[in-house]
């Protein structure tokens, strides 16, 4: 509880009123109506309900001789709730201190008391004090958000990451400022991010040149070829193939779990969403249409007389190209880079992740996970919503209220853990 620095200086006694008990409609209104009849200032207020059990804190300034606290005790008795008072300092020693948001994401078997205990100990060891805890999701993963006051941010990040790695849970450490809440553009990779496949491998299998494509890919990963050269050599293997092969490739693509929910929720919140891919535009655009994304950048296969020529058209979207695309999308929409989010899994995503306000490695290769601002290892793309402070219940409520969305039993999935 803090008194906002913009509030007038408190007069008289500063009292923290705590109401607890079984939740029902009208408790908060009843207390405030009682206070309204007295010479009381309300400085701060916070309420939380866990399993229908209410905790309501109201910080008030009470002038001398006022009977509001005595009347509040009688109100609590009549309302069937417990009421406690505590005299506190007029101003908070935490007011104005920097805040950091620590978000944890993990499977049920890993997000244990031991894991949460290790993370909270790491926060304390870095000099941080937990000001608020919020559960963001209970399934298909568990996620909690810790708002931390004070502490050395670099040490906090180091200690929390070490603790989370020991217990196999994901963690994100971000500044708790307005920039985090103001993210407005999300740009994500396609292969092994939006989808679980690599489109070029699917195409190679359809054409019958998978071994040749794999060999060129391995040479590139070994540093023997740059991305552009390796891509051109792989594409050359598709020369004279009927363009209809791309239809078969599209039919084989598997969306990552949670992809539709992720995009749909971002769009509801007013985010701009874009796809950027080192793969092929003819497939990526169909995927974009499928999930509702209108902004796409990808490599283009040349087609003549209904057949692939084995050549590319236009500028190649490579590692540096992905970063340029992110910057151009942001500039075109007048969005500061600090309010952008980039998501990817491979080395060619590194520049994009680096220039974004928040770079997220999604089930990524080790070098990418180590370089990104944060990493997600659970196989659900919509788990990234939790890093943005969006609760699972909010997503579900919006889906249930939208007649265009087929929830498929989202709210009552068989085998779901209890609320």
The catalytic residues are 189, 191
Under DSSP, the state recorded for 295 is: E
CA–CA distances in Å: residue 394 to residues 138, 217, 271, 386: 13, 42, 16, 11
Instruction: Give the three-class secondary structure for 157.
Output: helix
Following CA atoms 23, 181, 135, 116 in sequence, which dihedral angle do they give, to the nearest 10 degrees?
A: -140
Report DSSP letters for 363-378, one per residue.
S--HHHHHHSSEEE-S
Q: How many angstroms separate the CA atoms of 33 and 157, rounded?
A: 44
CA–CA distances in Å: residue 243 to residues 232, 283, 303: 17, 11, 7
Under DSSP, the state recorded for 255 is: B
Under DSSP, the state recorded for 90 is: S
Those residues whose C-beta lies under 8 Å from the C-beta of residue 178, and which sit 6 or more positions away, are none
Give how far the C-alpha of residue 256 lies from the chain's centroid of Cα atoms, to the nearest Å. 16
Q: How many angstroms separate the CA atoms of 26 and 38, rounded?
A: 19
Helix and strand totals (H; E) in the chain:
16, 15
Q: How many angstroms separate the CA atoms of 57 and 46, rounded?
A: 5
Cα three-residue angle 69-70-73, rounded to 5 degrees: 90
Those residues whose C-beta lies under 8 Å from the C-beta of residue 58, and which sit 6 or more positions away, are 16, 17, 19, 31, 32, 35, 42, 44, 45
Under DSSP, the state recorded for 108 is: T
Q: How many angstroms separate the CA atoms of 357 and 99, rounded?
A: 17
């Amino acid at each position: 509880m803090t008194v906002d620095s913009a509030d007038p200086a408190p007069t008289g006694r500063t009292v923290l009123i705590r109401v607890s008990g079984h939740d029902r409609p009208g408790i908060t209104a009843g207390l405030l109506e009682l206070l309204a009849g007295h010479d009381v200032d309300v400085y701060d207020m916070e309420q939380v309900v866990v399993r229908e059990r209410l905790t309501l804190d109201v910080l008030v300034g009470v002038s001398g001789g006022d009977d509001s606290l005595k009347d509040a005790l009688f109100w609590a008795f009549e309302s069937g709730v417990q009421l406690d008072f505590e005299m506190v300092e007029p101003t908070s020693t935490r007011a104005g201190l920097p805040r950091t948001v620590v978000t944890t994401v993990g499977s049920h078997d890993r997000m244990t008391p031991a894991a949460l205990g290790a993370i909270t100990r790491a926060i304390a060891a870095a000099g941080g004090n937990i000001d608020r805890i919020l559960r963001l999701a209970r399934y298909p993963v568990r996620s909690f958000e810790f708002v931390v006051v004070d502490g050395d941010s670099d040490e906090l990040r180091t200690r929390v990451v070490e603790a989370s790695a020991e217990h196999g849970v994901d963690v994100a450490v971000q500044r708790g400022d307005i920039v985090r809440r103001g993210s407005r553009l999300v740009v994500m990779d396609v292969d092994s991010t939006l989808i679980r496949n690599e489109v070029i491998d699917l195409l190679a299998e359809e054409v019958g040149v998978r071994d040749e494509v794999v060999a060129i890919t391995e040479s590139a990963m070994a540093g023997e070829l740059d991305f552009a050269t390796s891509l051109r050599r792989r594409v050359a293997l598709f020369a004279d193939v009927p363009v209809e092969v791309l239809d078969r490739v599209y039919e084989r693509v598997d969306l990552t779990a949670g992809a539709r929910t992720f995009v749909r929720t971002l769009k509801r919140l007013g985010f701009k969403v874009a796809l950027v891919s080192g793969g092929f535009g003819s497939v990526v655009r169909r995927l974009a249409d499928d999930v509702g994304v209108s902004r796409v950048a990808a490599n283009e296969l040349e087609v003549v007389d209904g057949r692939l020529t084995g050549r590319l058209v236009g500028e190649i979207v490579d590692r540096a190209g992905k970063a340029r695309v992110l910057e151009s999308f942001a500039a075109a929409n007048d969005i500061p880079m600090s309010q952008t989010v980039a998501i990817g899994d491979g080395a060619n995503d590194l520049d994009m992740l680096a220039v974004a306000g928040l770079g997220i490695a999604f089930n990524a290769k080790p070098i990418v996970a180590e370089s990104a601002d944060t990493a997600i290892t659970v196989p659900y793309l919509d788990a990234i919503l939790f890093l943005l402070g969006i609760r699972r219940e909010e997503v579900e409520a919006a889906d249930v209220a939208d007649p265009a969305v087929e929830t498929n039993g989202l709210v009552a999935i068989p085998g779901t853990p209890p609320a």
